[in-house]
Amino acid sequence: MLLKKISFSIAAVLLLTGCGGAVKVAPTPSATPSSANPIPKLVIPTDCLKAGMNEALSQIVPEAKYIPTKWQPAPGTELANFLDNGGLACSYGLQSAEVGITAKWVDDSKGLFENRIAGWVAEGYVKTELPDTKGAEAYFLLKKQSPTQEFHVWSLNVKYHQTWLQLNCTAFAQTLDAGLPLFKAMISQ
């Protein structure tokens, strides 16, 4: 009999709280990383030719090739953040047609991604959800070429599995979805 009264009381409290305002619920232990269940780090490629990006881009831009680039980043730039912290930056495409991508990867244990968010938001980046990337934080910017916009801008910054990834596409990517196969290639290392 006592068990029935306790069960009825618990049910009544649950029903009443469901009718009222929002109830704060503590996250479950499995929802937060722990030392027993850490978030795995993404494997960052070490060679542009072995990153799988050219193969992924060739599905969209036939005859795309790796474009060797001698990067010389200015201090404090995003490119410097990537290269000065052991990351990789690679360009692929049809250089003569100015069609392609630049993909960058870097370990984000120093909070590089977080330090850039305010600047991205000020530039017009929008926080967005990406399919099949549970736990990812993403910011996306699309500015199509126009009489007032000289160059097409498609840029995606993502923190995923303790890694900052950046993907920039040229004119062929007219929507977020158009570049997602390339982003998926970046995280499938």
pTM reported for the whole predicted model: 0.77
CATH T-level assignment (fold) for domain 48-187? Protein Transport Mog1p; Chain A (3.40.1000)
Identify the residue with better confidence: 119 or 43: 119
Three-class DSSP category at 115: helix
Q: Does the structure show a pLDDT above 90 at 145?
A: no
Q: Distance between CA atoms of 55 and 33, rounded to whole angstroms?
A: 34
- Percent of the chain, pLDDT > 90? 59
- Percent of the chain, pLDDT > 70? 75
- Work out the number of other CB atoms within 10 angstroms of the CB of residue 187: 18
Mean pLDDT across 62-68: 93
Report which of 33, 34, 55 is spatially closest to residue 189, judged by C-alpha positions.
55
136 Rama class: left (phi>0) / alpha (psi -120 to 50) / beta: beta
Quote the distance between the C-alpha of residue 115 and its chain's center. 15
